[in-house]
Structure 1
């Protein structure tokens, strides 16, 4: 075993003791980041090339600073995104939400699907949809000035930038002053804040202490923003258009009921993620 692999083994023990959920992966990822190699190439780093900065970044991760804030990058589906303080770090769970949306768009008889991503954060969802549904046109909305700046960086460096309209604004009032867009969208998607304020102390330190509060909490029951997005989706979607919205795994029995038939919705349903946990709700705008 070379020196770096031995240090990674020690780092893994330290991160595990600190409660880091994926200690081995994070120890290897940080080693690869510091030494500018791929994780599978750690064994090729000569002992003489070991960089002591590795222990600096391990100390930061040990203090539960997000891995992505340390490396400055986050991976989401086929994307590598720039992230850091002030923006929500995209999670693997959201990939299944986007997968459902992509399948829905591909099944539509629409040449150039029109999509809006509300609470876009880093732009992860909007960029994934633009990349994987090549003829789509995507509007992305973000309220936070800091998060918007990160999304701007990611959109501006994307080959699909020309098909993404990034705007700074409130997801619960999006495009209310642009009647030409009302009733035109094929899909509304969002990973909104949905954690109840009463559950602050149970949130993982990486999120609670580093993700922006605006991206995490939404009222006493966590559903304030989702209720607002329901009204926006009702205004923006064409008849037959669909909404897909992520929620906490404890809200699976509640969110579909927000999309009521008397408000013009049909087919409201909940869906499970790859871990078989309730993760997102969908509904279809009723035909006229």
Structure 2
């Protein structure tokens, strides 16, 4: 008798097994991650994967093996963005991987504060500066969403700069400039001319342990930890921003949800005015702004 051909590999079955494995490992939104990993392997977006699974589409043995390998890595809590090589941020798709901080959805609100201030600046060609730009997320959002502005981004980590440079080469308009430079000495040629200085600095206290394994084990420590109280880099940024900003210029800082009061006090003591803390969409305080006198 002829051998019975093997049963086809169904995409829906592969997804179901992946969701079960990821959920047992404690991965949040296991179904979302499974669909995004499958989309990365077979091509298309998450919606096309969902539709294909409903239609009873098959998956090749090679794609199934590649998908299972990615799921196994995600079980270790390796960030989804490291596995796909991409991180969505506002309207952008950024290249990311080991050595660079993966941009988070809450930082999109921080970018919005900077974009709004930059767009409202009186100058016909306002200047925005992103200090410690990492993947380039905030700087590229400013440069592409406020096209009449000039945007300068500084990064001082060699490992992160590899990704920053790639994202700038792919996405930056001519009005954006990237520099590998120590943040404390960034852009002396811009002193007193900048409308918006923004940063998502390292702000986790040295003794704190980030809750999420993706952060604790995979984000670069230099992008996380900011000294005993988490504010060492914020102190540097306050002084640098005072040097760069023109009178009436805006400083925008991302921070931990419990740090708003301390940062307002720090900025006010340095001479900034109207220090205000802003909640994100989950109503957690995540950014503070201030005005250069």
Place the TM-score, normalised by the shorter chain, in its bin.
Answer: over 0.9
- How many residue pairs get aligned? The number is 279
The one of 155, 165, 168 equivalent to 2:180 is 168
CA distance in 2, matches of 1:159, 1:216: 26
1:76 corresponding residue in structure 2: 89
Structure 1 residue 156 corresponds to structure 2 residue 165: no
Structure 2 length normalisation: TM-score?
A: 0.91
Which residue does the alignment assign to 2:199? 190
Q: Is the 8 A contact 2:118 2:128 kept in 1?
A: no
Structure 2 matches for 1:55-204, cutoff 5 A? 55-160=68-173, 162-175=174-187, 178=188, 180-200=189-209, 202-204=210-212
Give deviations 1:83-106, integer Å, cap 9, x for gaps: 111111100000001111111122
- Aligned mates of 1:148, 1:73 — CA distance in 2: 16
Alignment TM-score, normalising by the size of structure 1:
0.93
Q: Which residue of 1 aligns with 2:6?
A: none
After TM superposition, give the deviation of residue 254 of structure 1 in Å. Answer: 1.4
In structure 1, distance between residues paired with 2:159 and 2:207: 25
| RMSD (Å), alpha carbons | 1.4
2:30 is equivalent to residue 23 of structure 1:
yes
In 2, the alpha carbon distance for the partners of 1:229 and 1:48 equals 51
Asked whether 1:284 is paired with 2:281, we answer no
Partner of 1:228: 236
Residue 272 (structure 1) aligns with: 279
- Match status 1:49 vs 2:49: no
Deviation of 1:19 after TM superposition, in Å, equals 1.6
1:158, CA displacement in angstroms?
Answer: 1.7
User: Shift of the alpha carbon at 1:21?
Assistant: 2.0
Tell me how far 1:159 sits from its aligned partner.
Answer: 5.0
Q: Is the 8 A contact 2:11 2:52 kept in 1?
A: no
Identify if the C-alpha distance between structure 1 residues 239 and 62 changes in structure 2 by more than 3 Å, giving closer, same or farther: same
Shift of residue 48, structure 1, vs aligned partner: 4.8
Q: Does 151-160 or 224-233 show the bigger shift?
A: 151-160
Check the 8 A contact 2:140/2:172 in 1, yes or no. no
Q: Tell me the distance in 2 between the aligned counterparts of 1:108 and 1:182.
A: 17
Q: Which one has a bigger Cα radius of gyration?
A: 2
- Provide closer, same or farther for how the CA distance between residues 152 and 281 of structure 1 changes in structure 2, counting only shifts above 3 A: same
Contact 1:186–1:238, Cα closer than 8 Å, also in 2:
yes
- Over 3 Å counting, the alpha-carbon distance change for 1:141 and 1:185 in structure 2 is same
Residue 25 of structure 1, CA deviation: 0.9
User: Which segments of 5 or more consecutive residues in structure 1 lack a partner in the other structure?
Assistant: none
Deviations 1:131-178 (A, max 9, x none): 000011111011101111111111011251x21111112223323xx2
Q: Which aligned pairs between 1:199-278 and structure 2 lie closer than 5 A?
A: 199-200=208-209, 202-260=210-268, 263-278=270-285
- After superposition, the C-alpha distances for 1:6-47 in whole angstroms (9 at most, x for unaligned) are 321221222122121221111110011111121111132631
